[in-house]
Every structure is written in C-alpha cells, then in structure tokens.
Amino acid sequence: NKFIKTGFILVIILSGFCSTTNIGTLNMGAVYSKSDGMSDVSVYLKNNALPNSIVYFTREVPWEMWYYGYGRKWRKRTLLYEGEQKFLRDVRDRFHKGIYIIAYKDDLGTILDIQNKCTILPVHNVYRGETEKFRIYKVVR
C-alpha cells in the first residue's frame, strides 16, 4: 500500500516536470487555428449549396465541417486525396447540383491550377480577425 502511494506521487511529480518543460515543442493534438472559421463556411454552404452538391477541400476535411454539416446531403471530398482528375470528372458530370471549393489561404496555387482547367468564381471569403482564413469558390458549368 505504501509502495503504491509513493509510486503514484512520484509519477505525478515526474509527469509534471516532463510536461511543463517540453509542452511548447510537442506537436500533438488538433491545430485549431487551421480550421478556425469553419462555422462561417458551413453557414454559407447551408444558405447556398443545394443537396447533392459536392464540397471539395484543398486539404483534409476538418472535423468541424463534419460537425456543422451533419445531416446535410453534401458530398465532402478533398483535392489532396481525390486528385484533380476526379475533380474534373465531377465537373463534367451534370448529376451534381453544384460544386464548391473551400481553399485555405495558403493553397492559392492549387486554385490557379484548377482555374486553368475549368471556370471557378470566388463567392465568399472567411475572415478571423484581420486575416483571411478561407476562400469559397463555386464551379461554373
């Protein structure tokens, strides 16, 4: 019993020292700043995107979009994993009501590549504070 108590106290003390010295260098957990503003994106999509629309992200789909878009009949895909060929097939397919692209601020090079292959228009910008976080594009067919 004494051994367990002493070990428990020792573990708490050592974990406190380890966590406070290296807490700034650990790259664990979610990076909220990369998906901050997803609620504004979902509000725009709820007001403008019809069911059976496809929402493409230039990177991974943030967990906030799964939360805010719950119950919506949008298909969420990524340009990162699906690729441009799948995207262009979806553009040619007239089955979908609309195609939207959610571009992170740092991914404007991907948007320039897509603009060379099809027509997209910027329809909404999402800001957090003074900086632009996302830009929403709609594919014109």
The number of beta carbons lying within 10 Å of the beta carbon of residue 35 is 20
> Where do the DSSP E strands lie in the chain?
54-57, 75-78, 99-104, 119-128, 131-140
pLDDT of residue 100: 92
Q: Is the pTM of this model over 0.75?
A: no
- DSSP structure string for 15-38: HHHHHHHHTTT---S--GGGTTTH
pLDDT of residue 21: 53
Walk along the chain (141 residues) and give the pLDDT tens digit of each residue: 788 888 888 888 777 666 555 555 555 444 555 556 788 888 888 899 888 889 998 888 877 787 778 888 888 888 888 888 888 888 888 787 889 998 887 777 888 888 888 888 889 888 877 777 888 999 987
DSSP-assigned beta bridge partners for residue 136 = 102, 124
Find out whether 52 and 99 touch, Cβ atoms under 8 Å. no
Rg of the chain, C-alpha, whole Å: 21
